[in-house]
Structure 1
Amino acid sequence: MNSRKATAALALVTALALGASACNGNSKNSSSSKPGSTGGSSSSATGKDAALNSIVNPSTKKGGTVTMEESDVPDSLDPGNTYYGWVQNFSRLYSRTLLTFKPAAGHDGLTVVPDLATGLGKASPDAKTWTYTLRSGVKFQDGTPVTSKDVKYAIERSNFAPEALSNGPTYFKAYLAGGDKYKGPYADKNPNGIASIATPDDHTIVFHLAKPFADFDYLATFSQTAPVEQSKDTGASYVNHIQSTGPYMFQSYQDGQGATLVRNPQWVASTDPIRKALPDKITIKFKVAATTVDDDLLADNITVDAAGTGVQPQTQPKLITQKQYADQSDDPYAGATSYMAINPNVAPFNNIHCREAVEWGVNKASVQQALGGAVHGDVASTLLPPSVNGYSKFDLFPSKGNAGDVSKAKAALAACGKPNGFSANITARTDRPTEVAAATAIQQALKPIGINLSIKTYPSGKYFSNFAGVPSYVHSHDLGLMLMAWGADWPTGYGFLDQIVDGSAIKPSGGNNLMELNDPTINKALSDAIANTDAAARTKAWGDIDKMVIKTATVVPLVYRKNLLYRPKSATNVTVTQAYLGMYDYTLIGSSK
């Protein structure tokens, strides 16, 4: 690379390499592979943790049905209206994006590769203009050729129409020139759409940014870049008739119940270098009790738990102590942190000393046990997990044995004018028993210092769209403490922090900045860092910003998460992907049934 045009792309590769080095606590590189291949080791590796760096039970045989179950409902299976990591992973079966993460074992799975596009983005010297060229021959399931205008429209509807689609991130809105003024395709009737996304021909799409963004290729991996035919779009109800561009399409979809995917006859393998599309059918059921999902996995009645967050505490002992189950288990780091958001707009947490009382009072060791013990994660002191590029080790609220510090908690209560304590609410997701158990552990830890918590539970499928992610609901229901788990949108500090600590991420509904943190200094630090083309300086900045956030006492890091996963014997081509929070890669997985 001999020009400044390569700067942003080089920074991307550097960040990937640095982020990958800490994954799974193993710096050993997986075997190399050609771009577009599955990569990694595909030998018949077996035993515990075999899927961390290998493809277990490899197969090239076509046929069979992959069966999935999920304990609640997704936020949406619409690629433009989702923020759940498992849906981002799952949606690659029926939707193709400009770029994607390579379906591969080990560190190869963090590599960004072309999907709809023919290559990575071509960046201008200042990283403010990014150009992609689309492949020829890609069609929607109705036979209509995919064009650059379909990709542009998909981004417009997903980022600029919160009245209809509120679940996904808004990175494009934040960084596209004029993004603060464009009202979206439903409200703005200009047929040309937003001017800062140019489509000079059917195979070229150009993004003009208001400010430099060195990580832009990562945005091109988001499901929001999956093309949508404007004539077929019906807003929030588009989920009922999604038009596929991937190897599978929806045979049926029932809201709240599940879906069946079958082969898409318009998908052509020669236009898709990354998907093998071996199964004939994929089924998924929603609202299956979490323990039932585990039972079905261990009995080999299903192929995979769609949520990808690991088995429940009731099931865990079997995977730890019984060899026949242990040999079919994997315990990867999830690239995610479980934490408790403290909302400073809910009294008495508008006083920093009241927030600090909670920080000092939480017994993180008991929370770790409630979440399943060490096998489900390490006690956390930072927001950034160790596997994300930019992590810096520090602890601003240390205590012996991670058991909290009662004396400092009581001193903080006195400083906030509540020496006898106060009452507050804490939220957790109903269908996640370990999260409810964590809320109970926090409740028990804070009670002796005079903080009395009431636990409020909500379904995970609506947790952000209707409850914890809706500021008006949070304020009116005094939801001062909210449990949360967050993984990086991509494996750098910005990809982890932006949507949960930047003020611009606060939304009327579907938001993830549950702290409603809107600190001008932190906002500016994030913006300045992502514009910096010096990769080393960016890496340092993420750790510095993490510390700035913790100093506000609006978040209590709890556990750096691990997922204790189980793979039944009928599952083929099984490997963990760190790009999607340490779950199995759904574009690879097959079934011998």
Structure 2
Amino acid sequence: MATRTTNVLAAVAAIASIVLAGCRTNDDQRHQSRSAQLHEEPGDPPSAGAAAGGTLVYYSHFPLVEHLDPQRLYNGRDISNLARTVYRSWVTFPVSADVETATTYVPDLATDTGTSSQGARTWTFTLRDGVTWQDGRPIACADFKYGASRVFATDVITGGPQYLLTYLDIPLDERTGLPIYTGPYHSSATGRAAFDRAITCNGRTITYHFKKPWADFPLAVASLHMMDPYRADKDRGRRSDFQIFSNGPYELEGTWDEEEGGTLVRNPSYDPSTDTTRSRRALPNRIVFDIGKNPEQITDRLIADRGRDRAAVSGESIPRTYFSRITGEVAERAVAVTSPYTWFLVPNFRRLTVLKVRQALAASVDVTAWVEAGGGDKAEKEATDIVHPAMRGYQKGLFPGGSGNPARARQLLESAGVQTPYPITFSYISNGPIADAQAEALKQGWEKAGFKVGLDGRTEKEYYGIVGQPSQKADILWTGWGPDWPSAITVTPPLFDSRPNLTETSNGDDLGRYRSARFEALVDEAQNAPDLDAATTVLQQADQVLADDVAYIPLGIPVFYLLHGSAVTGYVNTAASNWYPDLGAIGVR
């Protein structure tokens, strides 16, 4: 999910789930008796009024579902939806409204949460008994190994996370810079042998061998689907992209239509005694993913709350133009939750070379005005760290936020010895009047401090093609980021480590072309830490270096303002579901 803002914008613009009330059938009654076998765990989500049955319809407008193939999934909404329904992993995140609980992984297909050795360079998991595929065949250790092998077929299995290419202990090809193993479709004997040494199976136990420590590997497993099992006899390469072969409580009915969606129904081979309600209640009999209705159409349906829409949830944020209509009984069915993304500003270090000038910019940023111009606290929350508050490594108050301090900024500019008003150009994505109003709010704050601000609004299509170039002329840039798993290792290193990012022709994700030997030494220390706590401590030190250098200025955390129907039960948005409606708990009354 660690995506550039083009994808983040799409994710924030989109979420949709709606529930259809369905008639009870013999299958409903059969499932009720089976669901009673689910192991109830302490801390399970609220279940008042929850019962098995009915049909849940999940409306989506944008972005469309990009992939269903587990090794290609990389959209937070789809990752969490499919984890609750059709794909199980070694470990997973539980359903909980408590952030710490929801980001603490628990066993899923494994008997425990894994064992590390050799300073976190080796991880071992053992497969639990009784877990099967939808055709009843037991899941095997070899299925996990085959699933991991698909990640290396970078010409076939595209679009998904590729961490295994850098972590798994496989030599690199000097010519391509990629591992000598190239996946299960056309690898050399040498490459295959290297892969077989890197991942080994012994009965029901698998061992992963990494070339460097991976202390938060279970977090990556729980957050993404790259390590999920995959049956070799079901693999059709590229043609598997919109197929689902399930090991969870649901299976795909018929086929998936890329333009219209698809329907999940009960998986008769799923044994709920191998699962727990803290991960999957699996209450609806059917889940219909309906693609194509726009946010206004979805919101109109949910406000009206008639027919099948009474049993509806939505992952599509309520449009700002509808805020005044969310009153009375409708407001009781609305919830505002922070998204997993962070908006921030990046100074261009090729142009803003004087630290005190960057400090003056940070001191005079009016974050409060930025949020108000964007629609207020139903659209965005103020941020004071680039690391999300729900993540390990977050530091409260790393930046001051608020309305800024123009007087302090003027002092900084004066002591920097620069001529004022100091000219700067602010580049941002201009995708409508709200984005322009937010840019104007920042401009006014900066100009109070002694800057002369030129606004450079660009279309989303052209923006990253420009700011990704080393020669781009903006002084300060707007961007955003969403982490791949709840650890700061997936935020500050990929954004500010110059080594994997900066070339003569590209900024990579380091849009401001920031370089710091001190920061990169701390990144190396964190990446070689033997455990997650040690890595987190070092990453917080690295984040402080970024703050001291003003390598970024946090702005806000987008809010998902969501509405659901009156017949929905167990409704909750959790950190485990990337703050989208959590299908692990939701039912239909």
TM-score, length-scaled by structure 2: 0.75
Matched AA of 2:50: S
Aligned position for 1:188 = 187
Deviation, 1:99, is 0.8
1:367-405 deviations in Å (ceiling 9; x for gaps): 111333234454223212344333334456x58723767
Matches within 5 A, 1:336-415: 336-342=341-347, 348=351, 359=362, 362-395=365-398, 401-402=403-404, 408=410, 411=413
Partner Cα separation in structure 1 for residue 69 and residue 525 of structure 2: 33
Partner Cα separation in structure 2 for residue 263 and residue 385 of structure 1: 36
Where structure 2 has 5 or more consecutive residues not aligned to the other structure, the ranges are 1-36, 173-177
Partner Cα separation in structure 2 for residue 478 and residue 530 of structure 1: 33
Matched AA of 1:86: R
**In 2 relative to 1, CA 290–187 (structure 1 residues): closer, same or farther, beyond 3 Å?**
farther
Matched, 1:284 2:289: yes
**In 2 relative to 1, CA 415–118 (structure 1 residues): closer, same or farther, beyond 3 Å?**
farther
Matches within 5 A, 1:465-476: 468=464
Partner Cα separation in structure 2 for residue 521 and residue 242 of structure 1: 46
Aligned position for 1:455 = 457
Matched AA of 1:95: Y
Matched, 1:173 2:146: no
Matches within 5 A, 1:195-274: 195=196, 197-201=198-202, 203-221=204-222, 222-250=224-252, 251-273=254-276, 274=279
Aligned position for 2:79 = 88
Matched AA of 1:426: Y
- My pick for the range that moved more, 349-358 or 281-290, is 349-358
User: Is the 1:577–1:583 contact (alpha carbons within 8 Å) kept by the matching residues of 2?
Assistant: yes
Matched, 1:315 2:315: no
Matched, 1:587 2:584: yes
Q: 1:78 aligns with which of 69, 74, 78?
A: 69
Deviation, 1:90, is 1.1
Partner Cα separation in structure 2 for residue 403 and residue 305 of structure 1: 40
Deviation, 1:334, is 4.2
Partner Cα separation in structure 1 for residue 238 and residue 511 of structure 2: 23
Matched, 1:68 2:77: no
User: Is the 1:491–1:579 contact (alpha carbons within 8 Å) kept by the matching residues of 2?
Assistant: no
User: Is the 1:39–1:104 contact (alpha carbons within 8 Å) kept by the matching residues of 2?
Assistant: no
Q: SS at the partner of 2:164?
A: helix
User: Is the 1:427–1:439 contact (alpha carbons within 8 Å) kept by the matching residues of 2?
Assistant: no
Identity of aligned residues (%): 25
Matches within 5 A, 1:24-63: 37=40, 39-40=42-43, 55=46, 57-63=48-54
**In 2 relative to 1, CA 84–67 (structure 1 residues): closer, same or farther, beyond 3 Å?**
closer
Deviation, 1:415, is 7.3
- My pick for the range that moved more, 580-589 or 493-502, is 493-502
Q: SS at the partner of 1:72?
A: coil
How many pairs align? Answer: 530
User: Is the 2:573–2:581 contact (alpha carbons within 8 Å) kept by the matching residues of 1?
Assistant: yes
Q: 2:423 aligns with which of 408, 411, 421?
A: 421
User: Is the 1:356–1:409 contact (alpha carbons within 8 Å) kept by the matching residues of 2?
Assistant: no
TM-score, length-scaled by structure 1: 0.75
Matched AA of 1:194: F
User: Is the 1:134–1:203 contact (alpha carbons within 8 Å) kept by the matching residues of 2?
Assistant: yes
Q: SS at the partner of 1:149?
A: helix
**In 2 relative to 1, CA 61–393 (structure 1 residues): closer, same or farther, beyond 3 Å?**
closer
Deviation, 1:130, is 0.9
Where structure 1 has 5 or more consecutive residues not aligned to the other structure, the ranges are 1-33, 42-53, 460-465
Aligned position for 1:117 = 110
What RMSD over aligned residues (CA atoms) do the two structures have, in Å? Answer: 4.2
Matched AA of 2:386: L
Q: SS at the partner of 2:457?
A: strand
1:224-270 deviations in Å (ceiling 9; x for gaps): 12222345445555322233322223333233543333333443333
User: Is the 1:505–1:513 contact (alpha carbons within 8 Å) kept by the matching residues of 2?
Assistant: no
User: Is the 1:109–1:577 contact (alpha carbons within 8 Å) kept by the matching residues of 2?
Assistant: yes
User: Is the 1:120–1:132 contact (alpha carbons within 8 Å) kept by the matching residues of 2?
Assistant: yes
**In 2 relative to 1, CA 515–205 (structure 1 residues): closer, same or farther, beyond 3 Å?**
farther
Partner Cα separation in structure 1 for residue 475 and residue 92 of structure 2: 37
**In 2 relative to 1, CA 122–591 (structure 1 residues): closer, same or farther, beyond 3 Å?**
same
**In 2 relative to 1, CA 574–178 (structure 1 residues): closer, same or farther, beyond 3 Å?**
same
Q: 1:298 aligns with which of 300, 303, 311?
A: 303
User: Is the 2:369–2:403 contact (alpha carbons within 8 Å) kept by the matching residues of 1?
Assistant: no
Partner Cα separation in structure 1 for residue 61 and residue 433 of structure 2: 14
Deviation, 1:537, is 4.7
Aligned position for 1:567 = 564
**In 2 relative to 1, CA 140–191 (structure 1 residues): closer, same or farther, beyond 3 Å?**
farther
**In 2 relative to 1, CA 179–380 (structure 1 residues): closer, same or farther, beyond 3 Å?**
farther
User: Is the 1:40–1:105 contact (alpha carbons within 8 Å) kept by the matching residues of 2?
Assistant: no
Matched, 1:128 2:125: no
Q: SS at the partner of 2:428?
A: strand
1:47-90 deviations in Å (ceiling 9; x for gaps): xxxxxxx5265412223233332333244343322333212211
**In 2 relative to 1, CA 261–543 (structure 1 residues): closer, same or farther, beyond 3 Å?**
same
**In 2 relative to 1, CA 502–38 (structure 1 residues): closer, same or farther, beyond 3 Å?**
farther
Aligned position for 2:336 = 331
Partner Cα separation in structure 2 for residue 285 and residue 510 of structure 1: 38
Partner Cα separation in structure 2 for residue 91 and residue 142 of structure 1: 18
Aligned position for 1:544 = 541
Partner Cα separation in structure 2 for residue 112 and residue 507 of structure 1: 34
Partner Cα separation in structure 2 for residue 231 and residue 443 of structure 1: 58
Deviation, 1:170, is 3.6
1:132-188 deviations in Å (ceiling 9; x for gaps): 112344444455543323323333433x44445554444333332237551531563
Aligned position for 1:51 = none
Matched AA of 1:315: Y
**In 2 relative to 1, CA 236–312 (structure 1 residues): closer, same or farther, beyond 3 Å?**
farther
User: Is the 1:421–1:451 contact (alpha carbons within 8 Å) kept by the matching residues of 2?
Assistant: yes
Q: SS at the partner of 2:571?
A: coil
User: Is the 1:336–1:581 contact (alpha carbons within 8 Å) kept by the matching residues of 2?
Assistant: no
